[in-house]
Amino acid sequence: MTATDDYLANNATYADSFHGPLPLPPAKHVAVVACMDARLNVYGALGIAEGEAHVIRNAGGVITEDEIRSLAISQRLLGTTEIILIHHTDCGMLTFTDDDFKASIEKDTGVRPAWAAEAFGDLEGDVRQSVARIKASPFIPHKDQIRGFVFDVATGKLKEVS
């Protein structure tokens, strides 16, 4: 049995009490962009119910071209207007540098990634960087409700980055 098999067994239980389908557009008109971190359950931490919000996640919760793509689809085709950005304490992205990570991959595989790893040294600074990247994009129409937070993995609390 793999962990994937365990999760499939859980899915059968979930489906037993599932009621669908809900409408496609997010009912709360919100898109969340958060780190992929295992300790950050965005449904729990924000009390998001099924059907309410888009959830976009990656290593760091950073804004790259693919998050701009997702946010453009979210706002332009599916009616979201608010963006919530979430980084978190004790993030893995604080523990390495792009140069070291890429050199390590090159050493192991012979191929150096052409992409940035997006490691960062300043948690709140990188939340502000994410806001700045969204504001700089011509493809995101709604930019007046973008708020950035740091989730504390010790307390479960969100702190707004001002």
Min dist CB 150 to its own copies, Å, is: 12
Residues from 133 through 152 that contact its own copies (CB under 8 A): 138-139, 141, 145, 147, 152
Residues from 4 through 23 that contact its own copies (CB under 8 A): 4, 6-8, 10-15, 18, 20-22
Are 138 and 120 a contacting pair, CB within 8 Å?
Answer: no
Binding-site size for its own copies (CB under 8 A) equals 92
Residues 6+ apart with CB under 8 A from 96: 117, 119
Are 28 and 49 a contacting pair, CB within 8 Å?
Answer: no
Residue 157 DSSP one-character state: -
Window 90-129: contact mask with its own copies (x via CB under 8 A): x-xx-xx----x--xx--xxxx-x-xxxx-----------
Residues from 48 through 67 that contact its own copies (CB under 8 A): 48-59, 64-67
Residues 6+ apart with CB under 8 A from 142: 75, 80, 81, 82, 83
